[in-house]
């Protein structure tokens, strides 16, 4: 694929990709769920029936009420509406996921490009060694260990997850660059004396964007789960921040009688992650990317 | 190259990775802000006591020296003193390692028993309604947060119906420790009551840990079986007029299962990783729950030790999978 025709090239397949995406029943469900979650997250203050309950509000007179028409998800131990907190939780989850994936992409892509493009250099060896080290511990275990250096907070969780996530993108990009760099169009650009970074970003990167997009979409659910897990374990978001994982953890004190306190935020995690999984799988099928 | 040389080479290759991991975790744990020693001794401790304990731990020395001391200790099997239990971390961990392994291995067996047949079945009946149902269940199952599943099971099966214990590993009748696996130890002692009790406690945590992994395994098994069906040699068999069922069972399965082996390795990694959530929910006295407590207490020696051990288990699991791969698939050569 010549780089000069790349722009003309991409117009047609894009509509085809979208058509394929909408033909798959599961991805339509995924799109619906994801759209709902994003909508609710953006308009949380207007959608939530009791928006002031997202913070440190206290209404002891209506504490621990079971789900009813007035409080669809019930109320928690200080009388806050769990539905409202769950809705604000969606906002929080999407925010930290965006930040984490953003950092992972910004750090991982250039390192992957460098390691792949100059694959015999000292820098590449070093980068690959570092990636090996990071990937030698599963993400949750590494992220949990990283949080020891900070006070428990939503920031800590974000730092810890970003810290564990960039190597996955770096390794993906590295592998793709290795495949592409001996392609004639890359060698042509090189023989014309094109600058290395221009070749990397302008000629190689656009052609490996599909697997990156697929990975990033599928990773949304992993990051949401990881963030919720860290908060559940007490090293992430703290009261009164309406984080899903933290809400599930606090609800454990009111089991089994007040089952809804833990159950409802957990259900939100489950549905959101299902939505992103369906969508991610659909995008992967539509772009025809397999690893 | 003989297989032993290959194993040796792979083990030697692990050394720089483990050393890198040690440096990484050590730095994270030692450069934390705040004073973990003060935190450990509590607000009552005098400045002199804090300083004494700090000297005892060697924290007054420069970082590179601390690291050197730590590595020397590690060579002798010492993980340093815990700031939370004030015992040697190695002693703390020794007992909990068996609990985690028993949980993880039971969950692995459950995940394989449910996941692999479901994936095979799905692949064999590709695009039928039953395939679609299996896929739908599997793709949703992957999305289940383990801590939430555990809590739901505690609410409904343990509390409401009283079928299982809510938390813990035994009802005070732990068998004499030989392997650290309560189920196996109980059988070794011929103590049937302890065996049943251990299984009864193991059921919910193991199921919780296994469920999303079983779903993931089903998805991946299906995908790799379908990949095998696409191969040329399958087409050749079909051209010879061999029936699809016979092709599937006699020719496709063996190669498909080699791929599944890699997936089982991945599953093992996911189970080690997520054991912490299940251990915390079910108060399972494992090494991951110990690690989570250590993180909250800023008990840095314990954090370093647990992370290293989890990393080592993860790397060894990958190595074992690579080796088995060669045994099952003669096309793979060690080299």
Average pLDDT over residues A248-262: 91
Evaluate whether B98 touches B105 at the Cβ level (below 8 Å). no
C-beta of residue B111 within 8 angstroms of C-beta of residue B210? yes
pLDDT (tens digit per residue) in B286-334: 999 999 999 998 888 999 999 999 999 999 988 888 888 777 776 666 5
Considering CB atoms only, which of A138, A245, A248 is closest to B269? A138
Residues 6+ apart with CB under 8 A from B331: none
Q: Which residue has the higher pLDDT, B123 or B104?
A: B104
- Mean pLDDT, rounded, for A263-285: 93
Cβ-defined contact of B145 to A142 (cutoff 8 Å):
no
Residue A258, min C-alpha distance to chain B (Å): 10
Share of chain B above pLDDT 70, in %: 97
Asked if pLDDT for residue B191 goes beyond 70, the answer is yes
When CB atoms are compared, the residue of B21, B160, B288 closest to A137 is B21
Mean pLDDT of B250-267: 82
| The pLDDT of residue A7 | 39
Partners of residue B32 in chain A, C-beta under 8 Å:
148-150
Q: What is the pLDDT of residue B200?
A: 93
Contact between B310 and A137 (Cβ < 8 Å)? yes
The beta-carbon neighbor of B147 closest among A142, A152, A248 is A248
In a domain, B331, yes or no: no
- Contact indicator for B263, B217 with CB cutoff of 8 Å: yes
Residue A72 has pLDDT above 60, yes or no: yes
Q: Report pLDDT for B34.
A: 65
Domain assignment of residue B273, yes or no: yes
- Cβ atoms of A27 and A21 closer than 8 Å: yes
| Pair B23, A129: CB distance under 8 Å | no
Query: What φ, ψ does residue A88 adopt, rounded to 5°?
Result: -65, -25
Residues of A in contact with B142 (CB under 8 A): 277
Any CB–CB contact under 8 A between A151 and chain B? yes
- CA angle, B305 then B308 then B314, to 5°: 140
Instruction: Give me the pLDDT at residue B76, please.
Output: 87
Task: Supply B118's token pair.
Answer: 């479901």
Predicted confidence at residue B334, as pLDDT, reads 59
Among candidate residues A137, A107, A106, A88, the one with its CA nearest the CA of residue A237: A88
* pLDDT given for residue A12 in this prediction: 47
Q: What is the mean pLDDT of chain B?
A: 87
How far is A137 from chain B, CA to nearest CA, in Å?
5
B-facing residues of A in 187-216 (CB < 8 A) are none
To test the contact with chain A by mutation, choose from B143, B158, B311 the residue with the greatest count of A C-beta atoms within 10 A, namely B143
Phi, psi of A42 (to 5 degrees): -70, -45
> Pick from A145, A228, A229: which is nearest to B25 by CB?
A145
- Mean pLDDT over B59-76 rounds to 87
- Identify the pLDDT of residue B36: 77
> Shortest CA distance to A215 belongs to which of A170, A177, A181, A180?
A170
Whether residues B143 and A248 touch (CB distance < 8 A) is answered with no
Mean pLDDT, range B83-89, rounded to an integer = 86
Query: Which pLDDT band, with edges at 50, 70 and 90, does B192 fall under?
Result: confident
Q: Which residues of A touch B33 (CB under 8 A)?
A: 149-150
Residue B233: the pLDDT is 84
- Please give the average per-residue pLDDT across A235-260, as a whole number: 92
Cα separation of A224 and A95, whole Å? 10
How many angstroms separate the CA atoms of B116 and B219, rounded? Answer: 9
* Spatial distance between the Cα atoms of A170 and A291, rounded to a whole number of angstroms: 15
How many domains, chain B?
1
Is the confidence at residue A89, as pLDDT, over 80? yes
The answer to whether the CB of A127 falls within 8 A of the CB of A114 is: yes
pLDDT at A202 over 90: no
List the CATH number of the domain containing B139: 1.10.3720.10
d(CA B153, CA B160): 10
- Nearest CB to B144 within list A229, A235, A270: A270
Instruction: Tell me the H-state helices in A148-235.
Output: 154-180, 184-191, 196-198, 209-233
CA distance A184 to chain B (A): 29
pLDDT at residue A290, rounded to an integer? 57
Q: Is the pLDDT of residue A165 over 80?
A: yes
Q: How far is A2 from chain B (nearest CA, A)?
A: 30
**pLDDT per residue as tens digits for the range A60-70:** 888 888 899 99
Does B295 sit within 8 Å of A134, measured CB to CB? no
Residue B107 confidence (pLDDT): 97
Classified as helix, coil or strand, B88 is strand
In this prediction, residue A23 has a pLDDT band, given cuts at 50, 70 and 90, of: confident
Q: pLDDT tier at A6 (50, 70, 90 boundaries)?
A: very low
Say yes or no for a CB contact (<8 Å) between B34 and A151: yes
Name the band, by pLDDT with cuts 50, 70 and 90, for residue A203.
confident
Q: What is the pLDDT of residues A213-238, one digit of tens each?
A: 989 998 999 999 999 999 999 999 99
CATH number, domain A26-290: 1.10.3720.10
Mean of pLDDT values over A123-150: 93
**B147 in contact with chain A, both atoms CB, cutoff 8 A:** yes
pLDDT band at A129 (very low <50, low <70, confident <90, very high): very high
Mean pLDDT of B215-236: 87
Number of neighbours of residue B107 by Cβ within 10 angstroms: 28
Best A66, A125, A129, A137 member to test B by mutation, with max B CBs in 10 Å, is A137
* Strand, coil or helix: A262: helix
Contact map slice: B 301-320 vs A, CB within 8 A = 303-304, 306-307, 310-311, 314-315
Per-residue pLDDT, averaged over A108-137, amounts to: 93
Provide the residue range defining the domain that includes B168.
94-286
Tell me if chain A has a CB within 8 Å of the CB of B152: yes
Amino acid A182: pLDDT:
84
**DSSP label of A62:** G
Q: Best interface-test mutation with A: which of B11, B21, B29, B145 has the largest number of A CBs within 10 A?
A: B145
Mean pLDDT of B242-268: 82
List the single residue in A with minimal CA-CA distance to B318.
Answer: A136
Would the pLDDT of A9 be above 50? no
pLDDT at B33 over 70: no
Q: Which of A189-193, A232-236, A267-271 has the lowest mean pLDDT?
A: A189-193
- Residue pLDDT, tens place only, B108-148: 999 999 999 999 889 888 888 888 889 889 989 999 999 99
Q: Among A155-164, A209-218, A229-238, B226-235, whose mean pLDDT is lowest? A: B226-235
**pLDDT (0 to 100) of residue A28:** 92
Q: Give how far Cα A207 sits from Cα of A170, A176, A183, A285, B15, Å.
A: 16, 9, 11, 17, 36
């Amino acid at each position: 694929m010549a780089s000069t025709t790349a722009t003309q090239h991409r117009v047609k397949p894009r509509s085809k990709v979208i058509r394929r995406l909408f033909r798959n029943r599961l991805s339509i469900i995924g799109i619906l769920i994801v759209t709902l979650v994003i909508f609710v997250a953006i308009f949380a203050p207007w959608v939530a029936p009791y928006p002031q309950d997202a913070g440190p509000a206290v209404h002891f007179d209506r504490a621990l009420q079971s789900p009813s028409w007035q409080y669809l998800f019930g109320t928690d131990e200080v009388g806050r509406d769990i539905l409202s907190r769950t809705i604000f939780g969606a906002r929080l989850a999407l925010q930290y996921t965006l930040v984490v994936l953003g950092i992972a992409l910004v750090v991982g892509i250039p390192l992957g490009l460098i390691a792949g493009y100059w694959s015999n250099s000292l820098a590449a060896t070093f980068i690959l060694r570092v990636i090996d080290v990071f990937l030698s511990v599963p993400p949750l275990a590494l992220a949990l260990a990283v949080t020891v250096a900070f006070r428990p907070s939503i920031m800590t969780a974000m730092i810890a997850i970003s810290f564990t996530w960039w190597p996955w993108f770096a390794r993906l990009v590295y592998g793709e660059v290795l495949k592409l760099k001996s392609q004639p169009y890359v060698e042509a650009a090189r023989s014309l004396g094109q600058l290395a970074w221009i070749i990397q970003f302008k000629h190689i990167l656009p052609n490996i964007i599909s697997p990156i997009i697929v990975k990033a979409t599928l990773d949304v659910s992993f990051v949401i789960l990881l963030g919720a897990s860290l908060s559940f374990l007490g090293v992430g978001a703290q009261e009164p921040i309406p984080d899903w994982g933290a809400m599930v953890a606090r609800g454990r004190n009111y089991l089994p009688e007040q089952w809804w306190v833990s159950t409802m935020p957990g259900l939100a995690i489950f549905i959101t992650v299902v939505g992103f999984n369906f969508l991610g799988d659909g995008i992967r099928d539509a772009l025809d990317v397999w690893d | 190259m003989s297989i032993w040389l290959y194993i040796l080479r792979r083990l030697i290759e692990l050394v720089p990775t483990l050393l890198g991991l040690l440096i990484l975790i050590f730095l994270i744990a030692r450069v934390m802000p705040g004073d973990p020693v003060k935190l450990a001794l509590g607000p009552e401790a005098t400045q002199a006591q804090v300083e004494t304990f700090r000297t005892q731990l060697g924290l007054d020395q420069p970082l590179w020296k601390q690291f050197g001391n730590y590595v020397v200790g590690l060579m002798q099997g010492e993980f340093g003193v815990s700031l939370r239990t004030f015992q040697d971390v190695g002693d703390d961990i020794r007992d909990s390692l068996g609990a985690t392994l028993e949980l993880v291995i039971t969950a692995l067996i459950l995940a394989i028993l449910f996941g692999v047949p479901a994936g095979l079945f799905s692949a064999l009946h590709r695009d039928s309604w039953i395939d679609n149902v299996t896929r739908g269940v599997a793709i949703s199952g992957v999305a289940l947060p383990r801590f939430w599943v555990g809590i739901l099971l505690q609410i409904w099966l343990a509390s409401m119906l009283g079928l299982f214990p809510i938390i813990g590993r035994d009802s005070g009748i732990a068998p004499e420790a030989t392997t650290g696996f309560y189920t196996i130890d109980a059988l070794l002692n011929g103590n049937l009551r302890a065996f049943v009790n251990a299984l009864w406690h193991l059921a919910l945590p193991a199921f919780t840990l296994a469920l999303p992994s079983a779903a993931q395994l089903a998805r991946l098994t299906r995908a790799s079986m379908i990949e095998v069906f696409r191969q040329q040699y399958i087409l050749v068999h079909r051209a010879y007029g061999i029936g699809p069922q016979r092709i599937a069972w006699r020719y496709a399965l063996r190669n498909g299962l080699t791929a599944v082996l890699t997936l089982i390795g991945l599953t093992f990694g996911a189970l080690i990783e997520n054991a912490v959530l299940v251990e915390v929910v079910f108060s399972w006295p494992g090494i991951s729950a110990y690690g989570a407590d250590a993180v909250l207490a800023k008990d840095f020696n314990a954090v370093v030790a647990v992370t290293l051990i989890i990393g080592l288990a993860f790397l060894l699991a990958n190595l074992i999978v690579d080796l088995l791969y060669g045994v099952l698939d003669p096309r793979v050569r060690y080299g």
